[in-house]
Amino acid sequence: SLALLHNGHLLTNIRYLTANSSHPATIRLAKQRVRCRDCSRWSMAQSELASKYCSISNASKLKILSALTEDRSMTSIASENNVSVNTVQRVLGSCSHRFLDSHEYLPAHLAFDEFKGVDRQLHFICLDGDSHQVVQILRTRYKKNLLKYFGRFSPQARANVRTVTMDLSFYYQDIVRACFPNVQIVIDRFHMIQMLTRSFNSLRVKVMNKRSRQYQLLKFPWKLYL
């Protein structure tokens, strides 16, 4: 410590959490600069408030990461936290190390779905059916891209997959049968109930439009039937 020479402070504006996005909160952080007398190298003190070379607080990043788990657009998340959409995308990208980076293993139970992301485009998401942890998120859900991604895994890893849960789309079923030899396709119960509800409601409306004797019976207690 005796070889370090203090050389002032560097003031940095750190964006912090705020309850009202119209009144952004900024913390002025004074970082101590020091110079080594032996090697003449400069260094800067670091703080747990924000990462190195970053003006966004770690608390704000955690809030953005929590909002990304909800059914919301990146634009609304960026506006709420007074950051840009690119910052939200970088926070999401910083979690990529949590995804599978090895092509020698796949969980025995997978779940496929899509969600609406940047520019209202549909992105592909794959989950572990047991732990509900994210296996991978792809920017597109095109068939050729999904076949290319799962084709990178070894035959042993793809043979380890036993079930894949999805909606009623035949689009994913073709991909699953092409990639996983020992798989059993499971249809999500939510989509099954949704299909039955829509079919029943369509039949109810069709009978009502005929002005039949059952019109009054099907019109007012419709919530009870559904």
pLDDT tens-digit map of 108-158: 999 999 887 766 788 899 999 898 888 888 888 889 999 999 999 999 999
Residue 217 tokens, joined:
């019976």
pLDDT band of residue 1 (cuts 50, 70, 90) is: very low
pLDDT classification of 58: cutoffs 50, 70, 90: confident
| Mean pLDDT, rounded, of the chain | 84
Q: Which fold has domain 99-187?
A: Nucleotidyltransferase; domain 5 (3.30.420)
Predicted confidence at residue 183, as pLDDT, reads: 94
Q: State pLDDT tens for residues 94-109.
A: 765 556 567 889 999 9
- Please give the radius of gyration of the chain, using alpha carbons only, rounded to the nearest integer: 27
